[in-house]
Amino acid sequence: MTKEEKLEACRKRFKELGLDESYRRLMEPVRKSSLPSGWKSWSVRKQKATRVQANTETMVLVGGWFKRRETTLWSVYEAATLEHIQPSEDELDLMGRYYTARDKGDLYRRHDLETLLNNWNGELDRARMWDERTRKTQVSQPHPDLPRKSEFEDGRQAADYLSQCLSGLIPSE
């Protein structure tokens, strides 16, 4: 049985058990090895001209911010840059919200994946500034049926309200 067949059998077993997400997370480091062997000794020109063997989930996610198809393979240069950055889940979430936001505001966003990767830390700082600003400007609208704080004098009133919400007497949002 080849390595690919073993991986496919393992993926199917995880899927049968309902553990698709766990399998994806386990396999992410294995897929990072989709970079060709010896790529570090290549010139930058050759790295940019050569495609990886397969995109990782992170590559698909980040590429989606720039409307790249999942099937469009990244260059070795882009994949190696992303691997070097090693963004955390929180950073990916923040950058995803920043790059897919409808309200672009007055902040400039990169239009090219390679440029984003080369300026990752600066863009992350801009995304944090944008996130802080949008959180400050968002006005929270309370639910019209939600009792005011003074109406929750004791825990019993809060419990009654919760039970009414759960029973459908008070419509939810």
| Rg of the chain on CA atoms, in Å | 23
Residues 132 and 55 reside in one and the same domain: yes
Q: Do 2 and 71 share a domain, yes or no?
A: no
- Give yes or no for residue 160 having a pLDDT over 70: no
Q: Is residue 86 scored above 70 in pLDDT? A: yes
pLDDT tens-place string over residues 121-143:
999 999 999 888 888 776 555 55
**pLDDT bracket for residue 147 (50, 70, 90):** low
Give the number of domains in the chain: 3
Say whether both 57 and 131 belong to one domain: yes
Q: What is the predicted pLDDT for the residue at 142?
A: 55
Confidence grade of residue 80 (pLDDT, cut at 50, 70, 90): very high
Q: Indicate whether 119 and 49 sit together in one domain.
A: yes
The predicted-structure confidence for 14-72, as pLDDT tens digits, reads as follows: 677 776 665 556 555 544 557 888 999 999 999 999 999 999 999 999 999 999 999 99
Q: Domain range spanning residue 109?
A: 37-137
Whether residue 120 sits in one domain with residue 171? no
51 and 24 assigned to the same domain: no
Per-residue pLDDT tens digits for 106-116: 668 889 999 99
- 110 in the same domain as 44: yes
- 59: helix, coil or strand? helix
pLDDT at 134: 82
6 and 89 in a single domain? The answer is: no
